[in-house]
Amino acid sequence: MDLSDVKPNKARHKSAKRKGRGISAGQGKTCGRGQKGQKQHSSVKPGFEGGQTPLYRRLPKLRGQSNKAQNIGIFRKEYQIVNVRDLERFDEGSVVSPQVLLDRGLISKIGDGVKILGDGELSCKLDVKAHAFSRSACEKIEAAGGTVEVID
């Protein structure tokens, strides 16, 4: 197979309706816009609600980028999440760091950091290094005989 064999999907290329070609054409005269009114003559701006205060102005907390705006701010950290049950695949006594997790395919990127959460059980002793831990994850790792180290 090479590039000359590739053809577009016929089902995806449906020709556009020919509007405004006479009354008998089906989409003639008003072209499916109906009779009179604002929507017939020109388009309505997206978000316009007929004079009612629009949604983006009714929710002042969500406007703009600030650190207070529902945790969608510019200072938010996006951690890569790994659960304790995912650490079960490592050998007894091994050191688990963000780079090791990346190499093993447990996370797709390191990004702002790695956070270990406490979902599942851990039976082997591990030395875990990550940027953040939940309280239950710390308890489970230490109960299995391992150590927890927070890195920057």
| pLDDT per residue as tens digits for the range 25-49 | 889 988 888 888 888 888 888 888 9
CATH topology of domain 80-150: Ribosomal Protein L15; Chain: K; domain 2 (3.100.10)
Residue 133 has pLDDT above 90, yes or no: yes
Residue 63 has pLDDT above 60, yes or no: no
Domain ranges of the chain: 33-75, 80-150
Whether the model clears a pTM of 0.95, i.e. scores above it, the answer is: no
As a three-state string, the secondary structure of the chain is: CCHHHCCCCHHHCCCCCCCCCCHHHCCCCCCCCCCCCHHHHCCCCCCCCCCCCCHHHHCHHHCCCCCCCCCCCCCCCCCEEEEHHHHHHCCCCCEECHHHHHHHCCCCCCCCCEEEECCCCCCCCCEEEECEECHHHHHHHHHCCCEEEECC
